[in-house]
C-alpha cells in the first residue's frame, strides 16, 4: 500500500478529492496532510476524514526557504511517504527539497502547461483570448511548473467568462484529473491521463 502525504495551503478541495479516491482496491492511502498555513480550511476537512494533519507555518521563516523546509521535512519524513502530492500548495520549493522526492512528487497546476506556468493562469488565458483552458498534473522538478506531464483536462472558455467562472470550471476538472493520475501513478504507470 503506497503512503501518500498531501501538502496544502488553503481550502484543500483537491486534497479532499484525492483522499476520497483512495479507498477499496486503490493501491494508495493518505497518511498525512501538511499545511504551511495554520488557517488553511483544508486542515479541518482532513481531520473530519480522520487523516493526520501537521502545520509548519512558513511565515516565521520569512525568506529563509532552507530553514522552513528543514522544519517541513520533519512531519513528512516521519510519515514515511512513498508519494507526495502538492495540492494548492503555494510555496516554491528549493531544488534540494524537490530532489529529495525526485520521481515521487506530483503537483496540479491550473493551466494547460507549458502555457502559463506561475500565477494568475485564468486571467492570462482570458487576456490571451484562448478558446480553451484547463489543468495539468505533472511530476515536480526543480524548475517551477515544468516537470513531465502526467495528465491534462481541458475546458472551453465561454463568452463572458471571468477569472472566477473559469477557475470554477477548471477546478471541477482538477478534482477528476488528480485522482485519476494518482491512481495510475501509484500503480507505477506514468502514461499521461487525458480527460
Ligand atoms: C486552486 O486555484 C487550484 O486551481 C490550484 O490551487 C488552488 C486551490 O486549490 N491547484 P485547493 O482547493 O486548495 O485544492
Share of the chain above pLDDT 90, in %: 98
Which residues on neighbouring strands pair with residue 83, listed in sequence order?
4
d(CA 126, CA 47): 37
For 54, the domain range is 1-101
pLDDT band at 133; cut points 50, 70, 90: very high
Q: Report yes or no: 178 and 18 within 8 Å, Cβ to Cβ.
A: yes
Task: Report the catalytic residues.
Answer: 109
* 121 plus 163 within the same structural domain: yes
In this structure, are 93 and 123 located in the same domain?
Answer: no
The reported pLDDT for the residue numbered 65 is 95
CB atoms within 10 A of CB 102: 13
Mean pLDDT of 32-52: 98
> Under a CB-based contact definition with an 8 Å cutoff, are residues 7 and 35 in contact?
yes
Under a CB-based contact definition with an 8 Å cutoff, are residues 169 and 177 in contact? no
> What pLDDT shows up at residue 6?
99
Does 30 lie in the same domain as 84?
yes
Cα 64 to ligand 1 centre (Å): 24
Whether 87 and 69 share a structural domain: yes
For residue 9, the ligand 1 atom closest to its alpha carbon is 13
Neighbouring C-alpha atoms within 13 Å toward the C-beta of 103: 2
Confidence of residue 90 (pLDDT cuts 50, 70, 90): very high
- Co-location of 95 and 115 in the same domain: no
Same domain? For 119 and 56 the reply is no
Over 90: is that where the pLDDT of 76 sits?
yes
Query: Would you say the C-alpha torsion 99, 101, 170, 36 has a positive or negative sign?
Result: negative
Q: Say what the pLDDT of residue 108 is.
A: 98
C-alpha cell at 66: 532552507
Select from 48, 77, 101 the last residue of a domain: 101
CATH number of domain containing 33: 3.40.50.170
* CA gap 116, 85 in Å, rounded: 20
Quick one: which H or E segment has residue 180?
helix 163-186
Residue 78 pLDDT > 90, yes or no?
A: yes
Q: Same domain, yes or no, for 51 and 137?
A: no
- Ligand 1 atom at minimal distance to the Cα of residue 15: 14
In the listed set 83, 101, 119, which residue is the last one of a domain according to the structure?
101
Is the pLDDT confidence value at 40 over 90? Answer: yes
Residue 186: beta bridge partners?
A: none
Whose C-alpha lies nearest to ligand 1, atom 8?
88
| 8, 14, 41: residue to mutate for ligand 1 pocket, most atoms within 8 A of CB | 14
Residue 112 Cα to ligand 1 middle (Å): 15
pLDDT in tens, 7-18: 999 999 999 999
Q: Are residues 83 and 154 in the same domain?
A: no
What is the distance between the alpha carbons of residues 174 and 55, in angstroms, rounded to a whole number?
A: 24
Q: How confident is the model at residue 63 (pLDDT cuts 50, 70, 90)?
A: confident
Taking only the tens place, the pLDDT of each residue in 80-89 is 999 999 999 9
* Arithmetic mean of pLDDT over the chain: 97
Q: Assess whether 92 and 116 both reside in one domain.
A: no
| 180 Cα to the center of ligand 1, angstroms | 17
pLDDT bucket at 71, cuts 50 / 70 / 90? very high
Could you say which DSSP state residue 164 is in?
H
Q: Measuring CA to CA, which residue among 110, 89, 85 is closest to residue 173?
A: 110
Question: How many domains is the chain built from?
Answer: 2
Full DSSP string of 61-119: GTT-HHHHHHHHHHHHHHT--SEEEESS---PPPHHHHHHTTTSEEEEESS-TTSS-SS
Where is the domain boundary, 44, 77, 101?
Answer: 101
Amino acid at each position: 500500500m503506497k503512503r501518500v502525504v498531501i501538502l496544502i495551503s488553503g481550502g484543500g478541495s483537491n486534497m479532499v478529492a484525492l483522499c476520497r479516491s483512495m479507498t477499496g482496491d486503490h493501491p494508495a492511502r493518505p497518511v498525512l496532510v501538511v499545511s504551511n498555513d495554520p488557517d488553511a480550511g483544508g486542515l479541518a476537512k482532513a481531520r473530519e476524514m480522520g487523516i493526520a494533519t501537521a502545520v509548519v507555518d512558513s511565515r516565521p521563516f520569512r525568506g529563509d526557504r532552507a530553514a522552513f523546509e528543514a522544519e517541513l521535512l520533519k512531519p513528512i519524513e516521519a510519515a514515511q511517504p512513498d508519494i507526495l502530492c502538492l495540492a494548492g500548495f503555494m510555496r516554491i520549493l528549493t531544488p534540494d527539497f524537490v530532489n529529495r522526492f525526485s520521481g515521487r512528487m506530483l503537483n496540479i497546476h491550473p493551466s494547460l502547461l507549458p502555457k502559463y506556468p506561475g500565477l494568475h493562469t485564468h486571467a492570462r488565458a482570458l487576456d490571451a483570448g484562448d478558446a480553451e483552458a484547463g489543468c495539468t498534473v505533472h511530476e515536480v522538478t526543480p524548475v517551477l511548473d515544468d516537470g513531465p506531464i502526467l495528465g491534462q483536462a481541458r475546458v472551453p472558455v465561454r463568452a463572458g467568462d471571468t477569472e472566477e467562472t473559469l477557475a470554477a470550471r477548471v477546478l471541477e476538472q482538477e478534482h477528476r484529473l488528480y485522482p485519476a493520475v494518482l491512481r495510475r501513478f501509484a500503480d507505477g504507470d506514468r502514461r499521461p491521463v487525458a480527460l
